[in-house]
Each structure stands twice: as C-alpha cells, then as structure tokens.
Amino acid sequence: MKRQRIFAFVKIQFKSLIKVPTALFIVLLLPVALIMIFGFAFGGVYVENYGWTSQSGYLFEFMVPGFIALSGMFMAIPVALTFSEDREQGLLKRINTTPTSAAEFMGSHVISNMSMAIIQVAIIFILTFLMRGMRFITPVGIILSFVIMIIFSLSTIGFGLITATIAKSAKAAGGIVWIFLLPQQLLAANLYPLPPETQIVTMFMPLHYAADALTLLFYGVDLTNLRIWWDLIILIVFSLVLIIAGILLFRKYGKV
C-alpha cells in the first residue's frame, strides 16, 4: 500500500464533494437542511414522558439521533453514483492499467468516505448543539456517537458498492440505492414510534443499531447500559460483512 496513491485518491474524492453539486447536497446540505427544518418545526414542542426512558423534553431532541443516523445512510448514494459513473467513463479500467492495487483503490475510497462521515457528523453535531438538541448527552457519549457513525459509514459504503455492482449505469444506481435506503429510513431510523412487530424486520437493518445506540446516548443513558454495547457489536459485524461483501462483489461482478 503506497501512501502517495491513497492520498491522491482521497484528494480527488474530497474534490468531488466540493465540485459535484449532487455529492455536496447529499453529504452535507441535506442533513443540515433536515436538522434545521425539524429543529425549527419541533424545537418548541415540549413532550412529557417520551419514549421508553419516559423523559421529558423538546420533541426535536428525541428526533436528533435518528436524523444523524439517517444522514450517515445517505452516504451510500454518492458511493453508488461515483463508482457507477467512474465505470461508465472507463476510469476504473484505466486505473486498472496503472500499478494501483485493488487494496489501495478500495482502501482509499473507504478512508475518504469515512473522513466525509466524520465531517458530516461534526457539522450535524455543531448544528444540533446550537439548536439546543443535545441537552442529555455526555461528552463521552459524543465521542462514542462519532465512533458509531464512523463504523456505520462502512456499512453504507458497502450498500453503495453493492448498488454499483447491480446497476448498469449511474442513472440506474441512483434509483436502485433506494431499495436499500428507503426501508431502513421508514422502519429503522427511530424517528417515530413503531409497533413492536417491525422489530423483526429492523433486526436485519444496520441503521436500526446505529440509531438505537445514538438514541440511548442522546437520552443520556449511562454507558454501563449493555444495550449500547450490544448495538455497537452488532453494528461492527454488520458493517464488516457489508463492506467486505461490497468490495468482493464489485471486484468480481462490477465489470471494472
């Protein structure tokens, strides 16, 4: 693994974030817009005995963890689009004629997307703090939330790669990626109470574990609570399986 190659790819990934409006919108502007819209809409709605911890607070405070997890999920879209577009442009083939190894290429994409996830979460956290949506979370909880989101970003990259493998074009990828995103958004983001029966389905969704752990941390639940760590372990397993599956599937069937 050569640093020069990895840095070169990471650099162009970040440039794409600045220069490609779609990527900028999905990774940064959409989460910011969601936080602001819901912050202003529900920031003043006070609820008592909310959720399973029966806490009282502003409704926005209870929605924030779901929005953060959901924002991380959106990262699958630029990943799917980037790989599909690069394949359409013949760039993946061209890179394949250079001494760049598959590990360097894929590794750099994982690094750049994880870095973007960190930036995304940092911006959302600052915004949420400014909008008074982080009253219960502890400083250690904030750090752990970052770790959770970084791990979660691996699974979204995996979803992005699987989408790029299935899709024949970038346009198709833009549609197919919602097969993975939409059910998770509707059922697993913890944005609103759902009947317990949905848990059977959400058990298979990594977003559920990220959102659940974040919700616990944002509710200020003690770190000794095993549910947080159980969520984290399952999320790690999910993320590793998805990223490995994504890389292997894309390399084998991605028509590079």
Question: Which residues would be at the binding site for another protein (CB under 8 A)?
Answer: 2, 4-5, 7-9, 11-12, 15-16, 19-20, 89-91, 93-101
Whichever of 49 and 97 has its CB closer to another protein, that residue is 97
Query: Shortest Cβ distance from residue 18 to another protein (Å)?
Result: 9
Query: Shortest Cβ distance from residue 99 to another protein (Å)?
Result: 4
Whichever of 13 and 145 has its CB closer to another protein, that residue is 13
Whichever of 15 and 135 has its CB closer to another protein, that residue is 15
Whichever of 56 and 101 has its CB closer to another protein, that residue is 101
DSSP string for residues in the chain: --HHHHHHHHHHHHHHHHH-HHHHIIIIIHHHHHHHHHHHHHTT-EEEEETTTTEEEEHHHHHHHHHHHHHHHHTHHHHHHHHHHHHHTTHHHHHHTSS--HHHHHHHHHHHHHHHHHHHHHHHHHHHHHTT--SS--HHHHHHHHHHHHHHHHHHHHHHHHHHHH-SSHHHHHHHHHHHHHHHHHHHS-SS---GGGHHHHTT-HHHHHHHHHHHHHTT--TT-HHHHHHHHHHHHHHHHHHHHHHHHHHHHS--
CB 219 within 8 A of CB 135: no
Query: Shortest Cβ distance from residue 93 to another protein (Å)?
Result: 6
Query: Shortest Cβ distance from residue 9 to another protein (Å)?
Result: 8
Query: Shortest Cβ distance from residue 102 to another protein (Å)?
Result: 11
Query: Shortest Cβ distance from residue 19 to another protein (Å)?
Result: 4
Whichever of 2 and 171 has its CB closer to another protein, that residue is 2
Whichever of 4 and 49 has its CB closer to another protein, that residue is 4
